[in-house]
């Protein structure tokens, strides 16, 4: 074979090999569609947690309004969402509803499948403004004292508060309960009353023992207490319902020298939260957490929404990154503007985007006159309205139920908040990854015009449109995960 012929043969072989390799190479895999469940509520609540037609992730698309979810970037781990079974709520549910009505309502509130799966409760230790009368767990005649707490008893709560808490736990065993006193027993205070006054310095040991006895007594009823705060709204002293003024310095001393050591001596793992008051007063928490010994006993800070901005939570977190934050009270009421769903869902989004591990509204249930209550708020709204004028009584689920349901039904305790971008427009959002791997995105159109946007995740995207004031929860499972 000539030299030229041999070269031609070699070139032909190379060309054939190249063609063969090109033909055998695999084409790029198509992006598989991933189904996304959608649950939407309209501003007028004509649709409430309504399951809509599923959408699907497809090939990525670019849009100026794209919510990009990155579940590889995690923030705080969630405890849950809920309200408070105040004495007023418990009395109404236990005495103004039939057993069948109560069971149905409790299922709607606490069952994660048949209801919205509320999972985080804040319980008053004794009377709050939403109670039938002033009471503590160690009431005495005026002028008497009981530093050994020989008269301590939670018998009052056994009538209807304890049974409802037990029922809630049976429906949702993942429930966490925190507790706060509106006032210690009156004999521990300068006023010798649950109304007004300050905690006597000589009562610090007795109050620490009071907390220990409460935690033990509730545990004996099958109700574990996840956390406590020393005092509800310690910088406010109401004149017609229980309250106690406690300075930040006093709270630091009480936790540092009394409550923390008392819990440790009893091997209690109940968390201690500081503050429990409004965003605009959050320097109070800063003072307590700046005491190293007090802070060593503290899990984090409880906050309320009635003053200031939610961004105070992030400012505090930046100062104390090892301490958690919980939003522990925010009532809806008649003072709110007409776009109630937007207000309440916006609270959930804002609180969790600013490090809250839980969001608790206020009363679980109130009657048609926003009661019963001792004083204070006369136009607060519960998650449920129980109309006692009707015969038999009727129940109505309010906007607060719907708003909480957009999170509590889909975001499981133990979920991580994950990265998602936000916008300066009316489009708000927050995202979570559940312990089972499913991903949840809560989106709200708080603006006055319809918003169309994309959701991007893991190289995929889908498009969606929300009407003004509407909210939607999206849930999907990464490939390979089972329900």
Active site residue 343: no
CA distance 350 to 76: 14
What tokens does 339 get? 């776009």
CA distance 472 to 431: 12
CA distance 77 to 415: 6
The 10 Å Cβ neighbour count of residue 9 is: 11
Q: List the catalytic residue out of 40, 250, 329, 343.
A: 329
Query: How far, in Å, are 82, 86, 300, 353, 396 from residue 385 at the CA level?
Result: 16, 14, 33, 29, 5
CA 162 to chain centre: 21
Please state whether beta strands 271-278 and 227-229 pair in parallel, antiparallel, or not at all (unpaired): parallel
Q: List the catalytic residue out of 233, 250, 327, 343.
A: 233
Active site residue 40: no
The answer to whether 472 and 36 are in contact (CB under 8 A) is no
**Phi/psi at 22 (5° precision):** -65, -40
Greatest distance between any 2 Cα atoms in the chain: 124
Query: How far, in Å, are 130, 297, 391, 396 from residue 88 at the CA level?
Result: 5, 32, 20, 16
Catalytic residues: 233, 329
């Amino acid at each position: 074979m000539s030299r030229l012929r041999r070269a031609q043969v070699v070139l032909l072989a190379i060309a054939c090999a190249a063609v063969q390799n090109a033909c055998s190479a695999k084409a790029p895999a198509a992006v598989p569609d991933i189904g996304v469940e959608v649950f939407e509520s309209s501003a007028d609540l004509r649709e409430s947690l309504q399951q809509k037609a599923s959408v699907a992730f497809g090939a990525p698309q670019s849009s100026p309004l794209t919510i990009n979810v990155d579940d590889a970037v995690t923030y705080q781990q969630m405890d849950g969402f809920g309200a408070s079974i105040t004495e007023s709520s418990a009395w109404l549910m236990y005495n103004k509803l039939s057993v069948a009505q109560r069971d149905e309502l409790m299922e709607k509130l606490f069952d994660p499948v048949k209801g919205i799966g509320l999972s985080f409760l804040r319980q008053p230790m004794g009377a709050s403004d939403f109670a039938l009368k002033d009471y503590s767990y160690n009431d005495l005649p005026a002028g008497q004292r009981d530093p050994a707490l020989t008269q301590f008893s939670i018998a009052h709560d056994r009538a209807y508060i304890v049974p409802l808490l037990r029922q809630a736990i049976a429906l949702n065993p993942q429930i966490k309960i925190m507790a706060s006193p509106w006032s210690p027993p009156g004999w521990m205070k300068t006023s010798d009353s649950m109304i007004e006054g300050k905690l006597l310095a000589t009562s610090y040991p007795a109050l620490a023992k009071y907390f220990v006895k409460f935690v033990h007594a509730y545990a004996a009823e099958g109700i574990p207490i996840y956390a406590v705060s020393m005092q509800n709204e310690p910088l406010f002293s109401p004149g017609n319902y229980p309250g106690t003024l406690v300075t930040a310095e006093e709270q630091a001393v009480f936790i540092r020298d009394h409550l923390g050591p008392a819990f440790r001596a009893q091997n209690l793992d109940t968390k201690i939260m500081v503050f429990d008051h409004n965003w605009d007063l959050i320097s109070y928490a800063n003072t307590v957490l700046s005491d190293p010994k007090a802070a060593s006993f503290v899990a984090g800070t409880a906050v309320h929404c009635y003053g200031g901005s939610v961004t105070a939570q992030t400012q505090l977190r930046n100062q104390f990154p090892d301490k958690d934050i919980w939003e522990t009270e925010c009532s809806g009421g008649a003072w709110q503007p007409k776009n109630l769903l937007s207000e309440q869902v916006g609270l959930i989004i804002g609180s969790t985007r600013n490090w809250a591990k839980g969001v608790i509204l206020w009363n679980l249930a109130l009657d048609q006159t926003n009661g019963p209550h001792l004083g204070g708020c006369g136009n607060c709204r519960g998650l449920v309205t129980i109309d006692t004028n009707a015969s038999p009584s009727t129940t109505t689920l309010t906007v607060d139920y719907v708003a909480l349901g957009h999170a509590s039904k889909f975001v499981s305790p133990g979920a991580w908040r994950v990265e998602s971008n936000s916008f300066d427009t009316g489009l708000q959002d927050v995202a979570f990854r559940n312990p089972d791997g499913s991903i949840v995105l809560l989106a709200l159109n708080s603006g006055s015009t319809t918003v169309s946007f994309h959701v991007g995740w893991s190289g995929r995207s889908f498009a969606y449109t929300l009407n003004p004031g509407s909210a939607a929860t999206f849930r999907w499972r990464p490939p390979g995960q089972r329900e």
